[in-house]
């Protein structure tokens, strides 16, 4: 059943608002409480929390499960609800588990790991069902606009949820944390139900019987992954773009794990106060992406009109050609490098006013940097081999996200927890490293072209 664009935008946005609660809970509260308030080792916490990102590659398996085993006549809705329930129920269990970890309980650490495995399954299930359901109920014309809307609102929702968390738990107490985390199932499930209500059409008895007679073949998880990885061995442009994605995610998300921590270490902020950085980061990065998107849209319209005026077919004009995208990327990267350098200075000086100003510059600049980066991934494919190349970029995203958690935790443990450096010097070094990662990203992608990628693919 195809639904109207307005209804699709509303209901799929609600689904993203629900999952934004859990993402925001992880990066603004769980990490802060574990590391700053409870004194648990940052490197170990980062690895455990980052485990959830490793469940991304199982999405095709979940998708095939939905096709093979409908529940009560529905292929999408029950799996989305199961995934949301599984992930949301992990949060009320986290506060007591973390207290056991403080006591040195190995079972506590194992339980914490299992909770993040459950969260990883939740994210993988939701991501897959979201895309399948979106494909079922939208048209080719409306789909991209719905996706743009939902992802924009997800980022803004994380900024809003961070503000709410600051109100719910102004300072850390076990009781306050437990109350806030107990809200997760109620908030996430209620919003998700509203986002799913009436979207999916129930399968007919004839369709269910056909699935039983001819069930979809099971997915071989490792085989397509091996094919994608093999690409980087012979296609230089694919290998460079693979590195570009990993370092892009590292440069953008390295601070997610420790932004609440520097708020505590450098500026002695309470848990509720430190959520301001997540609010600023997601809000201003979204503004940066929107500004870049509007500029790209205006310039594309002008280029299209020029072609039409010259008697050509305007439909062939790309919205963001890669050469033009690289120019925008260079601007965003340059401003991001400047922002990180200034943040390093503000950290060293422990000057909160300067830090706020430069953090806003950094967040906005990263939005300018992220927009063309995302566009590149959609274009860097080869006709007839789209799944192979898009699978490779998805794998790079998984690696980049996992490393963004683990590297940040490791840096904090090595530089601060070891007593090697004072917090102001350590965070200055971390921001300088983020600037260097942006430099590496640009170096990796500057000579990459779609034509080069396709030329390398023809040697298979």
pTM score of the predicted model: 0.86
pLDDT at position 315 is: 62
> Which residues does 376 contact at the CB level (< 8 Å), separation at least 6?
241, 322, 325, 445
What are the tens digits of pLDDT across the range 55-70? 888 887 888 888 889 9
Q: Answer yes or no: is pLDDT of 203 > 70.
A: yes
d(CA 185, CA 175): 17
pLDDT at position 214 is: 86
pLDDT at position 219 is: 67
Q: Is 100 exposed, middle or buried (0-12, 13-18, 19+ CB in 10 A)?
A: middle
Average pLDDT over residues 408-435: 91
**Whose CA is closest to 366, among 441, 261, 284?**
284
Contact 366, 288 (CB under 8 A): yes
pLDDT at position 224 is: 66
pLDDT at position 458 is: 62
Specify the CATH class of 221-460 in words. mainly alpha
What are the tens digits of pLDDT across the range 248-276? 988 888 877 788 888 888 998 988 888 88
Q: Tell me which of 3.30.450.70, 1.20.1250.20, 3.30.70.260, 3.40.50.300 is the CATH number of domain 1-219.
A: 1.20.1250.20
Give start-end residues of each CATH 1.20.1250.20 domain in the chain.
1-219, 221-460
């Amino acid at each position: 059943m195809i639904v109207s664009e307005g209804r699709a935008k509303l209901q799929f946005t609600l689904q993203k608002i629900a999952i934004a609660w859990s993402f925001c809970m992880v990066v603004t509260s769980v990490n802060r409480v574990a590391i700053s308030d409870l004194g648990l080792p940052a490197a170990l916490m980062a690895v455990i929390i980052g485990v959830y990102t490793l469940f991304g590659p199982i999405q095709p398996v979940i998708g095939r499960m939905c096709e093979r085993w409908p529940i009560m006549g529905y292929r999408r809705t029950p799996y989305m609800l199961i995934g949301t329930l599984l992930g949301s129920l992990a949060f009320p269990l986290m506060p007591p588990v973390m207290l056991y970890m403080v006591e040195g309980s190995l079972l506590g650490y194992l339980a914490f790991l299992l909770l993040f495995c459950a969260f990883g399954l939740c994210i993988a299930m939701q991501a897959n069902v979201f895309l399948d359901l979106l494909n079922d109920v939208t048209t080719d014309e409306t789909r991209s606009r719905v996706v743009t809307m939902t992802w924009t609102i997800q980022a803004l929702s994380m900024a809003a949820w961070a503000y709410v968390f600051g109100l719910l738990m102004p300072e850390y107490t076990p009781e306050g944390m437990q109350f806030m985390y107990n809200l997760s199932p109620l908030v996430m499930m209620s919003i998700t139900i509203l986002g799913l209500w009436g979207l999916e059409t129930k399968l007919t008895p004839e369709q269910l019987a056909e699935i039983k007679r001819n069930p979809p073949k099971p997915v071989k998880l490792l085989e397509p992954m091996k094919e994608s990885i093999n690409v980087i061995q012979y296609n230089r442009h694919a290998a460079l773009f693979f590195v570009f994605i990993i370092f892009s995610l590292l440069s953008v998300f390295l601070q997610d794990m420790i932004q609440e921590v520097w708020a505590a270490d450098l500026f002695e902020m309470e848990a509720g106060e430190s959520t301001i950085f997540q609010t600023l980061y997601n809000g201003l990065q979204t503004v940066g992406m929107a500004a870049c998107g509007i500029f790209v849209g205006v310039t594309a319209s002008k280029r299209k009109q020029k072609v039409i005026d010259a008697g050509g077919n305007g439909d062939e004009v790309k919205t963001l050609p890669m050469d033009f995208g690289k120019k925008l990327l260079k601007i965003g990267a340059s401003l991001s490098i400047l922002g990180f350098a200034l943040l390093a200075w503000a950290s060293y000086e422990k000057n909160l006013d300067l830090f706020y100003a430069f953090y806003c510059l950094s967040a906005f600049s990263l939005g300018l940097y992220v927009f063309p980066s995302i566009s590149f991934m959609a274009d860097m494919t080869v006709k007839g081999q789209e799944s192979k190349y898009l699978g490779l970029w998805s794998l790079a995203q998984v690696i980049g996200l996992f490393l963004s958690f683990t590297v940040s935790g490791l840096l904090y443990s090595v530089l601060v927890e070891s007593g090697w450096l004072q917090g102001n010097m350590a965070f200055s070094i971390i921001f300088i490293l983020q600037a260097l990662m942006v430099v590496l990203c640009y170096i990796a992608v500057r000579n990459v072209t779609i034509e080069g990628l396709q030329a390398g693919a023809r040697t298979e």
